[in-house]
Amino acid sequence: MSRSSQNQVTYDVISIPKQNQVRRFSAVIVAGGLNSRMGGKNKSFLKIGEKTILSRILETLETQFDEILLVTKNPAEYSNYPVRTVPDIYNDRSSLTGLHSGIYHAKNHFSFVVPCDAPFIQPSLIRLLLDSTETDTDVVIPHYDGHYEPLCAVYSKHCINGIEALLDSGDYRIYNFFNSINLKTIDKEQLKKADPAMISFFNVNTPEALKASIEMAATLG
């Protein structure tokens, strides 16, 4: 698959010996997508109460991280938000390309990744994932009811080569590189201790979900 035409330079990934890594974390918000189920509206800017979804996410992340990145093909749209935007390196439109770009551009070895439509991500859930990361861990990811939550997980820069191999082959399934890295899963019992209602995994990707999120926000206060 082709890389973005605006990125013609050669990208050299610096390999950090695992025994020398310090556990510092960046946060990556994956934006983009066609938003087809929302009538083409950018989900980041949908309002829940008086705040946009993106504002809610940023308010949560800024208490946990010293670097926050947002991956987007349209950086001008986010000029009013206090967040650094970075472009996709690959032209392909997928969550995997956004994940790749975010962890590539992050200054820290580890990045917590979240989608742009998750308004109720809980600090306690983030803390659980960060605290579960060890120096030899490549991915810390929620896994419950038989599925992963790949856009609410921690990734290391050691994942970059595996992700690029998938993208180059035209495979966009994030979990397909997990067999080549050191994966740590967080089960439902642990997740519910940090987030009893599991609202961190609620995504606003349909009009019905937006209506439900407004009702949830009113209940949460």
User: Is 118 in contact with 152 (CB distance < 8 Å)?
Assistant: yes
pLDDT on residue 215: 95
Q: Mind listing the pLDDT tens digit for each residue in 86-138?
A: 999 998 878 999 999 999 999 999 999 999 999 999 999 999 999 999 999 99
The DSSP call for residue 164 is: H
> What global pTM score does this model have?
0.88
CA distances (Å), origin 75, targets 46, 53, 79, 89, 121: 17, 17, 7, 14, 23
Q: Which domains does the chain have, with CATH numbers?
A: 22-220 (3.90.550.10)
Q: Mind listing the pLDDT tens digit for each residue in 139-167?
A: 999 999 999 999 999 999 999 999 999 99
pLDDT at 3 > cutoff 80: no
Q: Mind listing the pLDDT tens digit for each residue in 22-59?
A: 458 999 999 976 566 666 688 999 999 999 999 999 99
Give the tokens for residue 141.
């990811």
Distance CA 22, CA 52 (A): 34
